[in-house]
Structure 1
Amino acid sequence: MIFGVVVEKLIVHILFPEDNAHLFNEEGVFNYSTMLLREDLDLLVVGAKEAIYALDLNDISKKLASVKWEVTQQQKAECQNKGKHPEMDCKNYIRILHKTEDNRMYVCGTNAFNPQCDYMSYKDGQLTLEKKRENGKGKCPYDPLQRYASIMFENDLYSATSLNFLGSEPVLMRSSPVTIRTEFKSSWLNDPTFVSMTQMPESEMSAEGDDDKVYLFFSETAVEYDCYNKLVVSRVARVCKGDLGGQRTLLKKWTSFLKARIDCPVLESELPLIIQDTYRWCDSQQRWKDCLFYAVFTPQSDTSDMSAVCAYRMSDISKVFAEGNYLTPLETFPVKWVTHSGEVPLPRPGACIDNEARKAGITETLDIPDKTLQFIKLRPLMDQAIQPIGGKPLLVRRGATFTRIVVHQVQAADGEMHRVMFISTEEGTLLKAVNYDGEMFIIEEVQLFQASESIKILKFSNVTGQLYAGSDYGAAQVPLATCGRSLSCMDCVLSRDPYCGWDKVAGKCTLLSSSQRKLIQSLKGDASLCPDAEPIKPLNLSVWSGEKLMLSCFSPSNLAKTIWEQDGTAVNLRARFQLRRNGLLILNASDTDTGLYRCRSAEHSNAGQYAAIVAEYQVSVCPRGSGNGSQIFPQPQISGLSVAGLQAVIGLLLVSLLALLSWNFNKGHIPLPWYYFTKKYGSAEVGEAADSGLHFNDPSLS
């Protein structure tokens, strides 16, 4: 069972430790939003603003090579004359990076609102642009802020972007060998926002002799609904790889372009959520029809703050295009769309060339009859919407805006396989979630960058088993799991991370894949499997009356609830007690605050309720001036040196300085101040001036 319950839980943000993450950015360079995994070269190729980097795939903080692709002053001036911002718009933002079959790379950039493409190679540790510049129109967006999608499939570039400077001519295009594109009709593409693109090998072992296909995910203003305001819906479209266009009708246009609505229903949302990214997950042991698409959705209005993840079967998507009804426009004003109930010509409109078509003498799309082409030209939209598995989202989350998604399958200690979702957000965090028997569980949420900046791209490498993320200000490389965050067996088990288990011999939470021993793991959260933990020793703390004191308590799990007790009674969170994320703050301490404080962590899982003492403090509050200074307060440590020790060192330095000055005065190396007065004014004059309170302003004294 793949579908799960709606999850709306408060997640603790955990800063990602720098020793577990590798970061890259270069001063003055921004927009690290295009990535190409070159696992054959152990490289991560990153496209940014006017720069391309070849980074070490195992440690992206190591730059192996780079190349600049900057606009000329003339190109910048022409862009500015067209009303664009000289620094924001009139630069070259790298947007296309694909591997070619000869192991080169195809790269395109916005090039100051005049897109261009080139070939690039990596050899002898150098990145080299071949400077065989090609027109990037229809391949790469003009506007650096515009969403787009592209793939390189058998050396053919499929791209979805705008064909003109104004961004008013959206197009899905194949650039070679024969350029084929969509019609400029609102029924085909109506103010779309392109999201992602992928190919499916549907010709493999096909009994029907079917063709491979390319799928495009996007959103657009709906044409089929009669609404007062514009309604945006999510779509999936597909075209056939062998499409050459029509002979007369749809000349050099797609004859196989079909699109359908794709839904991710959330009951609390009045308007449809909008698709933002997809991830294709396929099992190498299964056929293409068993592949899944995981998609992230966000609200289209400010009245909702819910993001969601839905999953779709490839077989369900394919069935809508192969067997579904078409919508047809009525000649009314405004145009109304209804289910087509008339005759559907043969071969089926929008279908690829298959064995049945070949038997009828149709061996390529140029042979398709005009009747079929006229039908699909007017009716590219399917009636039936594609529904998610289970009819509902896998995950719904309030307060976070999802941006990208990656899905990875892992085998747990019990041998079961689990698909873990990694979801990035506009706030710069990365969520890690998994479905356990119908229950969607968020394992953790981590902050990838120091600043809360939107994550614009997310990639996964099967070679390194690492995730790679890009934002405006840098790129990050992070592991799939950081088991070392759990410091106890209970913490490790209750995290319910399928990648991690507790090693009783080593006494630490570790990766299953890196251990040869049997580890303690319970994805139900059964912490009773853990050995008894050693009791916590209380830490003695003293504070002056009226001062404040912070009692630290780090929650072992993002779903654990922290409970504070004073002398066995729950702390009353009144004005002088403030519960912080990492502890309890006592303000304006008084005698009543003296006592034994315990921080308990309580967490509920399917296996039961678990609680443990995380921290314990014996707090003493002393009146100011009491004890004649005999009361000893714990001193904070600074780099291994106590504050008292630091004061002693400073005192010793001051004594040494005074002794050195005294020695220099005695030797005459430094004249005494009154030497100047005596020399210039004489001793009597100086004495009189001092008696009268005069202040000398002589240059020789400065």
Structure 2
Amino acid sequence: MASLLVSLSCLCAAVVGFPFRTPLDLDVTPRVTVLSSGLQGCRRFQSSAVNYSTLLLEADSERLYVGARGAVFALSASDISASSALTIEWEASSEQKRECVLKGKDNKTECFNHIRLLQRFNSTHLYMCGTHAFKPLCAYIDEKEFVMSSQPEEGRDKCPYGPTTGYTALIIDQQIYTASQYEFWSFPDIRRNSPPPSLKTEDAPTRWLNEADFVGSALVRESLGSSSGDDDKIYYFFTEKNQEQSSTYSHRRVARVARVCKGDRGGRLTLQKRWTSFLKSRLTCSLPEYDFHFNVLRSVFVMHGLTPQDTLFYGIFGLEWKNVKASAVCRFSLPEVEEAFQGPYMENQGSGSNWREYVGKIPDPRPGTCITDSLRDRGIKVSTSLPDEVLDFVRRHPLMSKQVQPVDRRPLLFRRTTDYTHMAVHMVQGLDEQMYHVLYMGTDEGWLHKAVDVKGQLHIIEEIQLFKEPQPVNNLLLSTKQMSVYASCPSGVVQLPLSNCRRYASCYDCVFARDPHCAWNGAACVDVMTQANRSALIQDIQHGRTGCEKTQYNVVQRSRSVRVGDDVLLQCELSSNLATPLWTLNGTEVQGYDLNSGFRTGTDGLLIIEAQQDQSGLYTCHAVENNIRVAVVTYNVTINLDLPPSPPVKPTHSLFATLPAPSQGLSSESSSSEGPQKPLLLLSPKNMEAVYLSLITVLGALCVVLAVVLVYVGFCLRVGQRGKYSLRAAAAAHPSSKRSRKQHRNSSNMELKTVSSHCNGNGFCNGVSKRHNADIQDDGFLHIVPGEGHTSPNKEPPPPAPPLPPTSQFPSPECDFPNGLSATLPSVLRRMNGNSYVLLRQSDSENTSPLCYPFADELNKILEKRKHTLLLPRPDESSV
């Protein structure tokens, strides 16, 4: 029954999309999306190694040390792609790998030497530890020569056995502090390994850590400027099994922060070789009003301030359910953490997990505190001098009752479709003299989000695709000296500039970004740090809208000439995901949501339906963002009553006459109204009707059997076309006069025309290749005629279509239709729920070129590329 309930809840979550209501003010959309192909100033490092997970940045030596599987690299921090990279290869032996396989471990992932620890040990050496095929080893590295300076030593007390086990480590004053589950049969532990005395956490009679999964640790020098002679402290962040199970605590796992004192030496008899200062408390990151509770801590970043009390802890939180993607970012302050450790204790009043707040007497000195001047005055100078009563209380009361609340009492950010993995933060001073926190957050699919904290809420400036293939971001580092952010992934390391202000082409685009690094100087968007004179710069981080009222900007201008009755698509691409399009005709807003208005508006353009002469005029597409309307592109549209006069043709005995190409009667650029002439339509519908009636009469009189055969063949062709889209029939049914248009509309056959001058980067106009269609200068069209349409019983059947030109007129087609036309699906669909016209192709398998991909494969590729694009909150019902 339990498994059935879980399955039903998962099914409901998948159907509904998310089991809770969404806080719209926190579910922030990145303003700009930058694909990997459009990265500027990007440098990469890749080698034969994989799993680049450990980073160490040395600002003085300008080196970036990278730990991977079986190797350690020393790269230039200014340019990681430079050829001056140094390498230490350190892989497990074949014998060790065989022993690892015999232990039942994976010989493709686990039975290798994954570098888990890489930090500075002293002024001349680095220290590293690796899993070494489930037999951890550690070694020293001579920084100058970049070689291992000694034989590897035992590392099972300093490094976990597996490459994915939760782990954190610090080397402080040549002492190694680590936290992990070191062996697969042992309990999680926080240890100080060397030099002696070594310390660890307690596991009896009260277990201090319960299936803990560590994500980070930090040293806070609280002894600096302390009036009480306080000690430095080390804070650990992890997720563990919940110990406070009750009617109000239903979560299986909770996020924790623990603390130990750097000067702790353990107890004399009680808690010998154990921490005497260990305390832990719960970190809460939730939205009770929406019933959101983020209990899994994924990553933490410690931001040190001018004083220890200014220290901030940024945490990335997730949900317990692995099948639901969601992330939240919460911020905690050191004073709030200390307040929790000074509050009441929790007590386990049974053999189970029934923890309640302790209300009894608390021994003196207060259990879990560090050695201070007041204790030294009482003769307690080290932890081994603490009374046994105090140490016994510490052993049984490691958990605090008070929870640590976020500084803002709610998350800074909530993302319901993103799993953040790591984060880095730094402070930037804006032109308004305020300090802003800029966050860089990596995702599980290889994207980097840059955000700025404005009044307790994050604005995501941009999302950057680091790799084409989705892969998680393993680590992030920032360098203000190099003005770079470094991101490590399984396949390599990426170096990006902290900002790329040149991406913003106008003043409004620069101001809307709200990037503290960027400002408008009157001609371009520039990096503030590079400007000596900042008095004339324009920047508005607080609101992202003011300062550009008097600036000039260029608006793209285009002209269109179309025929009455045709459909016209005016394209408008917006660079910002937060902007919405607004169309005006001669300064008046176009209402494109009424079916009788003659217009349809979408995220990619404006569609004029069956254009009339009174719809001629100046169309302008505006981008509306932050309640500011900015013109993007204008179209001077001219709608003509008739086609341009056809050039004279020589008399011919053929049944066909030369008429202008279809592109002349459809929308086109003003500079391309003429095209090649092709024999496509009959000379006159009235004359052709008489000719065909005469031919049918003669054939019927000559041979009745032939008439029966023709009827049979016609029936077979109609059945064969059922449910298919016929480009040949559509071309033949194209109306060339008022009378034929009327007959066409009275028929039950439906016709869909698509007209667009928008061309993507691959040289295709709305899916139709320009280079393959010499007769279409700027626009493509598609007629969709369902095969099962029936003619009116009072009308004669329409004449059969003449054959189209052979395919040899279209050189080197990539994908040929049976009728010789060539079409390709668009390479990028920015938003599929707008009024975008897409040419879809259906044909028989025997007519498909071997160079073409199946239709389903092409569509799947498009949908995969569209995974990270924005969905409109209200889909358009007219979407194609």
- Fold shared, TM-score > 0.5 on shorter chain: yes
Would you say the 8 A contact 2:286–2:292 is kept in 1? Answer: no
Q: What's 2:357 paired with?
A: 339
Q: Can you give the 5+ residue segments of structure 1 that lack an aligned partner in the other structure?
A: 655-702
CA deviations on 1:493-534 (whole Å, 9 max, x unpaired) are 121212111111xx1101111123421112222345343424
For 1:254, what is the secondary structure of its paired residue?
coil
Q: Matched residues in 2 for 1:543 and 1:53: separation?
A: 62
Q: What's 2:68 paired with?
A: 48
Q: What's 2:495 paired with?
A: 477
Would you say the 8 A contact 1:269–1:304 is kept in 2? Answer: no
Q: Can you give the 5+ residue segments of structure 2 that lack an aligned partner in the other structure?
A: 1-22, 644-659, 666-671, 677-756, 764-769, 775-807, 812-880
Question: Residues 549, 41 of structure 1: CA spacing in aligned structure 2 closer, same or farther, 3 A cutoff?
Answer: farther
Whichever residue aligns with residue 506 of structure 2, its letter is: S
| Matched positions, count | 627
How is 1:144-183 mapped onto 2 (pairs within 5 angstroms)? 144-164=163-183, 166=184, 168-178=186-196, 179-183=198-202
For 1:386, what is the secondary structure of its paired residue?
coil
Would you say the 8 A contact 1:470–1:476 is kept in 2? Answer: yes
Q: What's 2:527 paired with?
A: 511
Please, which of 284, 301, 313 is the counterpart of residue 279 of structure 1?
301
- After TM superposition, give the deviation of residue 44 of structure 1 in Å: 0.8
CA deviations on 1:76-110 (whole Å, 9 max, x unpaired) are 00000000111111011111010112331111111
Would you say the 8 A contact 1:191–1:220 is kept in 2? Answer: yes
Greater Cα offset, 488-497 or 530-539: 530-539
How is 1:215-614 mapped onto 2 (pairs within 5 angstroms)? 215-226=235-246, 231-267=252-288, 268-284=290-306, 287-301=307-321, 305-321=325-341, 323-331=342-350, 333-504=351-522, 507-517=523-533, 518-523=536-541, 524-534=543-553, 536-540=555-559, 553-564=572-583, 569-571=590-592, 579=602, 583-584=604-605, 598-604=620-626, 609-614=627-632
- After TM superposition, give the deviation of residue 365 of structure 1 in Å: 1.6
Whichever residue aligns with residue 282 of structure 1, its letter is: H
Question: Residues 438, 207 of structure 1: CA spacing in aligned structure 2 closer, same or farther, 3 A cutoff?
Answer: closer
Would you say the 8 A contact 1:6–1:440 is kept in 2? Answer: no
Q: Matched residues in 2 for 1:69 and 1:619: separation?
A: 68
Question: Residues 230, 584 of structure 1: CA spacing in aligned structure 2 closer, same or farther, 3 A cutoff?
Answer: same
Would you say the 8 A contact 2:412–2:458 is kept in 1? Answer: yes
Would you say the 8 A contact 1:486–1:556 is kept in 2? Answer: no
Q: TM-score, normalised by structure 2?
A: 0.66
Would you say the 8 A contact 2:421–2:474 is kept in 1? Answer: yes
Whichever residue aligns with residue 158 of structure 1, its letter is: Y
Question: Residues 290, 534 of structure 1: CA spacing in aligned structure 2 closer, same or farther, 3 A cutoff?
Answer: closer
Whichever residue aligns with residue 105 of structure 1, its letter is: L
For 1:152, what is the secondary structure of its paired residue?
strand
Please, which of 142, 155, 172 is the counterpart of residue 136 of structure 1?
155
Q: What's 1:209 paired with?
A: 229
Q: Matched residues in 1 for 2:422 and 2:158: separation?
A: 22
Whichever residue aligns with residue 330 of structure 1, its letter is: Q
Would you say the 8 A contact 1:432–1:443 is kept in 2? Answer: yes
Question: Residues 541, 311 of structure 1: CA spacing in aligned structure 2 closer, same or farther, 3 A cutoff?
Answer: same
Would you say the 8 A contact 2:69–2:114 is kept in 1? Answer: yes
Whichever residue aligns with residue 405 of structure 1, its letter is: M
For 1:513, what is the secondary structure of its paired residue?
helix
Q: Matched residues in 2 for 1:50 and 1:616: separation?
A: 58
Would you say the 8 A contact 1:431–1:442 is kept in 2? Answer: yes
CA deviations on 1:560-582 (whole Å, 9 max, x unpaired) are 223356776255599998956xx
For 1:434, what is the secondary structure of its paired residue?
strand
CA deviations on 1:536-590 (whole Å, 9 max, x unpaired) are 242346899999998664434342223356776255599998956xx44979x97
- State yes or no: 1:74 paired with 2:92: no
Question: Residues 626, 82 of structure 1: CA spacing in aligned structure 2 closer, same or farther, 3 A cutoff?
Answer: closer
Would you say the 8 A contact 2:363–2:389 is kept in 1? Answer: yes
Question: Residues 312, 86 of structure 1: CA spacing in aligned structure 2 closer, same or farther, 3 A cutoff?
Answer: same
- After TM superposition, give the deviation of residue 302 of structure 1 in Å: 5.2
Would you say the 8 A contact 2:28–2:459 is kept in 1? Answer: no
* Identity %, equivalent residues: 34
Q: Matched residues in 2 for 1:613 and 1:155: separation?
A: 61
Q: What's 2:674 paired with?
A: 631
Whichever residue aligns with residue 301 of structure 1, its letter is: W
Q: Which structure would you say has the larger RCO, counting Cα contacts within 8 Å and 6 or more residues apart?
A: 1
Q: Matched residues in 2 for 1:601 and 1:10: separation?
A: 17
Please, which of 110, 132, 155 is the counterpart of residue 111 of structure 1?
132
Q: What's 1:663 paired with?
A: none
Q: Matched residues in 2 for 1:525 and 1:272: separation?
A: 30
Greater Cα offset, 364-373 or 251-260: 364-373
Whichever residue aligns with residue 156 of structure 2, its letter is: K
Would you say the 8 A contact 2:426–2:439 is kept in 1? Answer: yes
Please, which of 91, 104, 116 is the counterpart of residue 95 of structure 1?
116
Question: Residues 431, 638 of structure 1: CA spacing in aligned structure 2 closer, same or farther, 3 A cutoff?
Answer: closer
CA deviations on 1:363-414 (whole Å, 9 max, x unpaired) are 2122222221111111111111111113222222222122222221111112
For 1:390, what is the secondary structure of its paired residue?
coil
Higher strand proportion: 1
- State yes or no: 1:25 paired with 2:46: yes
Whichever residue aligns with residue 215 of structure 1, its letter is: Y
Would you say the 8 A contact 2:567–2:611 is kept in 1? Answer: no
Q: Matched residues in 2 for 1:256 and 1:637: separation?
A: 63
Whichever residue aligns with residue 674 of structure 2, its letter is: Q
- State yes or no: 1:34 paired with 2:34: no
- After TM superposition, give the deviation of residue 619 of structure 1 in Å: 6.8
Would you say the 8 A contact 1:459–1:469 is kept in 2? Answer: yes
Q: Matched residues in 2 for 1:497 and 1:117: separation?
A: 43
Q: Matched residues in 2 for 1:576 and 1:76: separation?
A: 68
Q: Matched residues in 1 for 2:593 and 2:638: separation?
A: 18
Q: What's 2:747 paired with?
A: none
Question: Residues 535, 61 of structure 1: CA spacing in aligned structure 2 closer, same or farther, 3 A cutoff?
Answer: closer
Q: Matched residues in 2 for 1:42 and 1:548: separation?
A: 61
For 1:458, what is the secondary structure of its paired residue?
strand
Would you say the 8 A contact 1:32–1:471 is kept in 2? Answer: yes
Q: Matched residues in 1 for 2:62 and 2:393: separation?
A: 49
Q: TM-score, normalised by structure 1?
A: 0.81
Greater Cα offset, 559-568 or 93-102: 559-568
Would you say the 8 A contact 2:251–2:295 is kept in 1? Answer: no
Would you say the 8 A contact 1:271–1:300 is kept in 2? Answer: no
Greater Cα offset, 178-187 or 486-495: 178-187
Greater Cα offset, 475-484 or 295-304: 295-304
For 2:309, what is the secondary structure of its paired residue?
helix
Question: Residues 101, 6 of structure 1: CA spacing in aligned structure 2 closer, same or farther, 3 A cutoff?
Answer: farther
Question: Residues 550, 458 of structure 1: CA spacing in aligned structure 2 closer, same or farther, 3 A cutoff?
Answer: farther
For 1:389, what is the secondary structure of its paired residue?
coil
